[in-house]
């Protein structure tokens, strides 16, 4: 048996190749959108991809199942209860697929989603028992899948199904069974998953909090309390995965666009679009703050959360123009950065990258078009602006300190009197902020807060500041925290 794990940093997605060297066939489980890695690995081992299998309908990334099928002729297998409307073979509990000398056995494990399947992997050349289990988004290392992504009405029912699947099904299996999950650290599909990407059932039985004995009702209360923020694009991605993701073919580098073309795209909808293009500026916060196109959204490509954060904030189906590089005419470098950004965006369902601004903001300036800036404050400047001398219980009345970190970070310590709106919820909660008041956005370091500041500025907030150094710098200076 040939077994390979693939992992996307930032998105935290894991996928798998399982093949039989003697017969030259293999399966791909839970494939990512850009499929070249699977094709190259299969070719390197002399394998042909014949099976593409999903454990469930993913909510955080668009699947590459149809892409692989189109490129290889493989058959797609989906959980029978997924309601997928594209061409596939349904899989149900106990169904088995033979991939050469390897057998994949489906185990129905609802909880994260109603249709979820795990896959027990049996190498028949070694024995008749499962060697390891591909657990999808059902069980992670140190965590389990969250049950709240289908809405409030279904959360309690799924939490109960999760309990039944864990204690009535999974924990009946042998402790020596190796576990390989569909996600690791960086994913929002759980609350506390490890960066380690494999475990054993015996280890998880002892140390995974979700698997500790407790009554069913106590488990439901525990797993439904304090869930992570739900990304705004969950429904859109699940719909794409249910209907069948569009086939992209080989992902090509976005084309360079002149400043005049970009100006036209942000003023008038491109053919086939009902809205003007969105400018996604992928440069670092300092470069963005110094000068950017009006209305641009700043999501630094250097962040390993680039795709996740862009997916939260960009409306589905939106045409996108990228700003990359340093605007110094290094065409090959800028082209590579644009390709990297487009590949990451495709993973979260944003396929419509019109191109990138050639020569960046410098080209925009050369046309005499307006360039905007955002003020950058240090933690010291924020301290001086936010509090009266000798006072530290609440900011002055004319300044809003906006903390865009996650809830767990906020609870660990925040600036007295700050307003808390996690970045993933900001677009939906703008009405909670007063656009007439100055706003200082803060996160851990200044990256997420740059994205927040750019979003606020694009929505008409006039006095927006980004605090570079963030809460790390604030706390290092000994400033007040509650």
CA-CA-CA-CA dihedral for 31, 36, 40, 46, to nearest 10 = 50
On the CB side of 146, CA atoms within 13 Å amount to: 25
Task: Give the number of residues written for the chain.
Answer: 482
**Assigned token pair, 452:** 């927040």
Q: How far is CA 334 from CA 253, 263, 283, 287, 370, in A?
A: 10, 19, 11, 15, 22
CB 472 within 8 A of CB 448: no
Nearest to 284 by CA among 442, 404, 450: 450
CB 482 within 8 A of CB 455: no
- Angle made by CA atoms 111, 115, 119, in degrees to the nearest 5: 90
User: What is the DSSP code (8-state) at residue 183?
Assistant: B
Say if residue 105 is exposed, middle or buried (CB neighbours under 10 Å; 0-12, 13-18, 19+).
middle
**What does the alpha-carbon distance between residue 70 and residue 110 come to, in Å, rounded to a whole number?**
29
Strands 419-420 and 400-403: what pairing?
A: parallel
**Assigned token pair, 273:** 């679009």
Neighbour-count burial for 9-27, b at 16+ CB within 10 Å, e otherwise: ebbbbbbbbbbbeeeebbb
Active centre residues (catalytic): 443
CB 116 within 8 A of CB 136: yes
CB 234 within 8 A of CB 412: no
Name the helix (H) or strand (E) containing 311. Answer: helix 306-313
**What does the alpha-carbon distance between residue 283 and residue 295 come to, in Å, rounded to a whole number?**
15
Using the structure block, give the residue that is written with the tokens 């955080």. Answer: 60
**What does the alpha-carbon distance between residue 358 and residue 338 come to, in Å, rounded to a whole number?**
10
Cβ neighbour number for residue 461 with a 10 Å cutoff: 20
């Amino acid at each position: 048996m040939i077994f390979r794990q693939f992992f996307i940093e930032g998105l935290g997605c894991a996928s798998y190749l399982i093949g039989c060297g003697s017969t030259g066939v293999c399966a791909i489980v839970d494939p990512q959108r850009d499929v070249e890695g699977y094709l190259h690995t299969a070719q390197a081992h002399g394998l042909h991809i014949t099976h593409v299998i999903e454990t469930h309908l993913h909510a955080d990334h668009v699947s590459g199942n149809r892409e692989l099928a189109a490129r290889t002729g493989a058959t797609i297998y989906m959980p029978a209860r997924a309601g997928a409307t594209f061409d596939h073979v349904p899989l149900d509990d106990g169904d088995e697929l033979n991939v050469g000398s390897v057998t994949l056995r489906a185990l129905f494990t609802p909880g994260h989603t109603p249709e979820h399947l795990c896959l027990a992997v049996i190498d028949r050349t070694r024995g008749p028992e499962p060697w390891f289990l591909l657990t999808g988004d059902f069980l992670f290392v140190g965590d389990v899948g969250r049950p709240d992504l289908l809405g409030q009405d279904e959360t309690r029912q799924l939490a109960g199904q999760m309990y039944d699947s864990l204690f009535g099904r999974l924990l009946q299996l042998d402790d020596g069974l190796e576990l390989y999950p569909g996600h690791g650290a960086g994913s929002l599909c759980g609350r506390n998953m490890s960066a380690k990407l494999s475990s054993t059932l015996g280890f998880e039985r002892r140390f995974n909090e979700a698997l500790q004995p407790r009554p069913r009702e106590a488990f439901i209360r525990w797993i439904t309390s304090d869930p992570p923020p739900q990304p705004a694009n969950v429904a859109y991605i699940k719909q794409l995965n249910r209907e069948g993701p569009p086939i992209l073919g080989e992902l090509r580098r976005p084309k360079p666009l002149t400043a005049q073309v970009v100006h036209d795209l942000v003023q008038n909808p491109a053919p086939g679009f009902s809205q003007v293009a969105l400018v996604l500026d992928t440069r670092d916060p300092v470069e963005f703050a110094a000068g950017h196109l009006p209305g641009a959204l700043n999501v630094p490509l250097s962040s390993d959360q680039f795709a996740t954060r862009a997916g939260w904030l960009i409306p589905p189906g939106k045409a996108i123009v990228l700003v990359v590089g340093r605007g110094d005419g290094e065409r090959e470098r800028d082209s590579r950065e644009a390709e990297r950004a487009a590949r990451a965006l495709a993973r979260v369902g944003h396929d419509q990258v019109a191109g990138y601004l050639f020569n960046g903001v410098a080209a925009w300036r050369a046309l005499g078009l307006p360039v905007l800036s955002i003020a950058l404050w240090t933690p010291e400047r924020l301290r001086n602006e936010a509090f009266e001398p000798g006072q530290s219980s609440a900011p002055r009345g004319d300044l809003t300190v906006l903390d865009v970190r996650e809830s767990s970070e906020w609870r660990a310590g925040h600036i007295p009197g700050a307003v808390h709106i996690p970045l993933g919820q900001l677009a939906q909660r703008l009405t909670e902020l007063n656009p007439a008041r100055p706003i200082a956005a803060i996160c851990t370091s200044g990256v997420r807060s740059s994205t927040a500041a750019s979003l606020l500025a694009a929505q008409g907030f006039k006095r927006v500041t980004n605090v570079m150094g963030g809460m790390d710098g604030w706390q290092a200076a000994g400033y007040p925290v509650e």
